[in-house]
Amino acid sequence: MRLHYSPTSPFARKCQVCAQELGLRERIELVPAAAHPVTRDRALVELNPLGQVPTLVTDDGTVLYDSRVICEYLNETAGGELIPAEAGARWPVLVEQSLADGISGAALLTRYEMAVRPEPQRWSGWIEGQLDKVACGLADLERRAVSFGDRVDLGTIAFACALGYLDFRFASLNWRERHPNAAAWFEWFGGRDAMVATRPPPG
């Protein structure tokens, strides 16, 4: 399998963490891609018309995207339990993944607005709206984190990758100060081997 990825993408990291937790990491070749909202990576576009990471090419040549589809494929391939089979447990985990991905997505859009759009064209209202999504998502995560315990599933992995992205790109938010439950949980989960091995490079 080949995973086209960016080392700074929280969505690509989610797939990598899942692969590690499922024991599939050695079966996956990591292929760096220059995904960008303006200057599009044409080699990536040939595989995925959206030109986004992560994009997975399976052993039989099937192309899969986005991260939610890839994680489900990896879980099924490994016969894993990152996505519960029983409906009563499955839907809450998938909702948690959606919430976490929403936090990551809003943070990523803020990053693009601040780093890619020329300064005279930046829209402060847009940035405030996206960061409000992040804040509301973190407030809900804080409520949920008290019951996480030692769960390792797609929901908790997605939350951890979202928090890792905030640490990487938005350290000034100081999210830990207002979210002690999430901070305590992330102190443990962030130390897992799969999280440590996939940390984005400094800088």
Q: What amino acid is encoded at 28 in this protein?
A: I
Which regions of the chain carry the CATH code 1.20.1050.10?
A: 87-193
* pLDDT number for residue 202: 82
**pLDDT the model gives residue 35:** 87
Tell me, rounded to whole angstroms, the distance of Cα 127 from its chain centroid. 20
Average pLDDT over residues 80-88: 96
- Amino acid 162 reads A
**pLDDT tens-digit readout, 117-168:** 999 999 999 999 999 999 999 999 999 999 999 999 999 999 999 999 999 9
- Location of each CATH 3.40.30.10 domain in the chain: 2-78
Beta bridge partners of 2: 29, 57
Please, what CATH class does the domain formed by 87-193 belong to? Answer: mainly alpha
Residues 8-59: tens digit of each pLDDT: 999 999 999 999 999 999 999 999 998 888 888 999 999 999 999 999 999 9
| Other CB atoms within 10 Å distance of the CB of residue 16 | 25
Predicted local distance difference test score (pLDDT) of residue 203:
66
pLDDT reading at 93 higher than 90: yes
Global pTM exceeds 0.95: yes
Tokens representing 51? 């030109």
109 alpha carbon, distance to own chain's centre: 13
pLDDT of residue 183: 98
Class for domain 2-78, per CATH?
A: alpha beta
Q: Residue holding tokens 């939350």?
A: 159
